[in-house]
Amino acid sequence: MQKEAVLKKAGLSVTESRKTILELFFASEGALAHADIEKHSSINIDRVTVYRTLQTFVESGIIHQIPTTDNTILYALCKDSCEAGHHQDEHVHFICVSCNKTNCLDDVMVPMVKLPKGFLPIQTAMIVKGTCIDCRN
């Protein structure tokens, strides 16, 4: 089973909660917020477990975080190529202002920028807001 393989590969115990949450990510088109998961009708997992599962998944490189300006963090599945721990979000994230879904544009890499003297970059994030392909009428 796909989910179990992902968990095992990450060195995590295979539990019901983790399989359920991972399933949600597989089934979801865009990124998910903590609230999306917690409020999802089909699951009945304690809030605390959701917090801890998301944190574990981030640390294991299964999902990554996407910063937003509305006091929530979004989470999305990582590509296989992602390495746990020292993870770099090198692809662009697109948030649709119409349907509100967040897409990982896996094929669009974050471009390098030339920083002023003395600034050393470690990680770069790029978030584009606009209208996604499904919402262009």
Partner DNA sequence: AATGATTTGCAATATTGTTGCAATATTTTT
Partner DNA sequence: AAAAATATTGCAACAATATTGCAAATCATT
99 binds DNA (CB under 7 A): no
Beta-carbon count within 10 A of 49 CB: 14
Whichever of 28 and 68 has its CB closer to DNA, that residue is: 68
Residues 6+ apart with CB under 8 A from 113: 124
Which of 2, 68, 79, 99 touches a copy of itself by CB under 8 A?
68
Please report how the helices 47-60 and 16-27 are oriented relative to each other, as an axis angle in degrees rounded to 10.
Answer: 70
Report the chain's C-alpha Rg in angstroms: 16
Burial of 130 (0-12, 13-18, 19+ CB in 10 A): exposed
Q: How many residues bind a copy of itself (CB under 8 A)?
A: 39
Nearest distance, CB of residue 16 and a copy of itself, angstroms: 27
CB of 14 within 8 A of CB of 4? yes
84 binds a copy of itself (CB under 8 A): no
Closest CA to 55 of 65, 43, 40: 65
Nearest distance, CB of residue 49 and DNA, angstroms: 3
Nearest distance, CB of residue 128 and a copy of itself, angstroms: 5
100 binds DNA (CB under 7 A): no
Per-residue contact flags (x/-) with DNA for residues 52 to 71, judged by CB under 7 A = xx--x--------------x
Residues that bind DNA in the complex, under the rule CB under 7 A? 12-18, 34-35, 44-49, 51-53, 56, 71-73
